[in-house]
Amino acid sequence: MLSKKLLVVLIVVIIVLVALGVWVGSWVSGLAKPNPSGPSEYSAVYLSTGDIYYGKLDWFPWPRIKNVWFLQRGVNAQNQPQLGIVPFNTAFWGPVDEVYLNPKQIIFWARLRNDSQVAKAFTNPALFQQQQALPPQTFQGPPGPPPQPTPPAPAPTAPSKK
């Protein structure tokens, strides 16, 4: 019969070996090719201000995004709305590539899939640029709906003579 000490040591060794096996298994599975439609390391964060930020989202100790990009809205020469994703650190005021977020301002966040065009652009901007023939570090999405025509102004009426 095994002594109690030997039995406890044997149980501890088995627990450590199982934990080590789980750790090695998770490390090895991380080396496998990621699922194309699975979640990427990038997220989209929608704020109450209407701004949308993209990047690597971390929640501890405070919500923050690294490798930050943001959605830029504009109008082209034909007065058509345009969307583009621009690196945050290229802003004119020269920010670092990290943004701390106020959790009360976050409306929602979502992980991007590996097969999304935005996630592909973040992981390999040169490939995306070649496929889309866009200027470097500017990725434009589809244009918004066409603007509604404005009705013509009513013709001025002559004052009536009484």
Q: What is the pLDDT of residue 135?
A: 43
Distance between first and last Cα of the chain: 124
Looking at domain 39-140, its CATH class is mainly beta
Cα–Cα distance for residue pair 67/49, rounded to 1 Å: 21
Residue-range domain boundaries for the chain: 39-140
Q: What is the pLDDT of residue 136?
A: 41
Q: What is the pLDDT of residue 158?
A: 62
pLDDT per position in the chain (162 positions), as tens? 568 888 889 999 999 999 988 888 776 766 656 677 778 889 999 999 999 999 999 998 899 999 998 888 888 888 888 888 888 888 888 888 899 999 999 999 999 998 888 888 887 777 555 444 434 444 444 455 555 555 665 666 666 665
Cα 96 → chain centroid: 17
